[in-house]
Homo-oligomer: A and B are copies of this chain.
Amino acid sequence: MKLLLILCYFAINTVIAQNVDHGKISIGKTSDIFPKPAVVIGSYGKDGMPNIMTASWTGICNSKPLCIAVSLRPATLSYHNITENMAFTVNVPNEELVKVVDYVGVKSGHKMNKFEKLGLTPIKADSVNAPFVKEFPISIECKVIKIVDIGSHRQFIGEVMDTKVDPSILNEKQRVDVTKLLPISYGGNGYYGIGEFIAKPWSVFKELK
């Protein structure tokens, strides 16, 4: 009994010490990377039918060659389309498209042609066998160069072949101006807009003392 009390004492002290030490609390296994994108992936079916779905499990994964990784579940039509054609497009939305982004993420392409349903226009990409969405301000064309089965999701690693943009979101250097694009951040139980410019990368570090 005495030994048990001593052990409890040390156990409690360890927990307190840890809390005092770093001040954080554990909230388990979460996807709390912020911000996360919410982009719309375009692909063709065997029958040539264009499909789109919203994905947030995506991002740049390589520089040379420049690649984007997108992870999809086998239950989605896009998973099978992309496995078949080894190609997809990444369509980046602006704030005005938030309802479309949400709809395309909730509804399945197995049950409808989402382009037709939403009055969107599929355009065949120049460089790969996948459709992009005319109404989205940025469309990136990707050729799958690697497939990685992780668990619930298959990760498609697509080499970037070209980017199509609405000229109105470009700056004088022909690069995307985020304040003209007005992209959507996903996470924290909300879609959020882009905020203020904070600082210049590869530069603001010089201000540290």
Cα–Cα, bound, A107→B202 (Å): 10
In chain A, residues 158-188, which have Cβ atoms closer than 8 Å to a Cβ of chain B?
160-167, 170, 174-179, 181, 183-188
The quantity of this chain's copies bound in the complex is: 2
Asked if B178 and A187 make an inter-chain contact with CB atoms under 8 angstroms apart, the answer reads yes
> A residues near B, CB below 8 A?
18, 21-39, 56-69, 71, 73, 90, 92, 95, 98-100, 102-103, 105-107, 118, 121, 123, 126, 132, 134, 138-140, 145-146, 148, 150-153, 155, 157, 160-167, 170, 174-179, 181, 183-205, 207-208
Given contacts A61-B153, A63-B152, A102-B204, 8 further A-B contacts (CB under 8 A): A28-B163, A33-B58, A35-B36, A63-B153, A67-B151, A99-B199, A100-B208, A145-B150
